[in-house]
Amino acid sequence: MQNLLFFVDRISTWVGQAFAWLIVVLTFLISWEVFARYALNAPNPWAFDLMIMMYGASFMMAGAYTLAKNGHVRGDVLYSFFPPRLQAGLDLLLYIVFFIPGVVALVWAGYTYAAESFAIREHSTLTANGPPLYPFKMVIPFAGALLLLQGFAEIVRCVICLRQGDWPPRERDVEEVDVDKLKASVHLEEGKAP
């Protein structure tokens, strides 16, 4: 079972990291647009639309990755003091009552929204001759389906924790800088003799 959970985590991680590269592309696009607008006096009317679409796609596709890494915001003030079984019970309840219905609604509505956009070959109306919107709108149901898959993996993790009394392991990823460890390393360096 753990291998299946890791497999779902790897899919979410791979997709999240692949779409994270859109931020680099977006940075270059914004830089080019600023240069073209002010230095060359030749702005691109479609650039703003494309920037919105790229940012939206990277944001939506990061949801499953963040869930796989247990990085979504929660009320950690109390939650972190609860024993693992209580945490798992609360998480399981919230996944069943709120998460699953909400994400299923996202996938359903996103699919309908994208299908209608594709049927009429919708283009942006923010600018004249705006870029097509239907490829961007197709990201919505795809992101929801990936989030739903990762959510089912998290539900399995909750059930395992309820049975065993401890959370199953997650694959390692880039970790945030621990402020206490950083302070300790700075104090160690200060304590060295010159």
Question: Is residue 121 in some structural domain?
Answer: yes
* DSSP secondary structure code for residue 126 in this structure: S
Question: Is residue 182 in some structural domain?
Answer: no
Question: Is residue 92 in some structural domain?
Answer: yes
- Exposure on the CB side of residue 194, measured as CA atoms within 13 A: 0
Model confidence pLDDT, tens digit, residues 59-68: 999 999 988 8
Question: Is residue 21 in some structural domain?
Answer: yes
Distance (Å, rounded) from C-alpha 56 to C-alpha 111?
Answer: 16
- Number of domains within the chain: 1
Spatial contact of 2 and 169, defined as CB atoms under 8 Å apart: yes
Question: Is residue 58 in some structural domain?
Answer: yes
Model confidence pLDDT, tens digit, residues 31-89: 999 999 899 988 888 888 888 889 999 999 999 998 888 877 776 778 878 899 999 99
Question: Is residue 13 in some structural domain?
Answer: yes
Distance (Å, rounded) from C-alpha 80 to C-alpha 60?
Answer: 27
Distance (Å, rounded) from C-alpha 164 to C-alpha 146?
Answer: 27
Q: Which pLDDT band, with edges at 50, 70 and 90, does 188 fall under?
A: low
Question: Is residue 93 in some structural domain?
Answer: yes
Distance (Å, rounded) from C-alpha 119 to C-alpha 88?
Answer: 43
Average pLDDT, rounded, for the chain:
86
Question: Is residue 185 in some structural domain?
Answer: no
**Domain limits for position 96:** 2-170
Ramachandran sector of residue 85 (left: φ over 0; alpha: ψ -120 to 50; beta: rest):
alpha
Q: In the beta sheet, which residues pair with residue 132?
A: 123
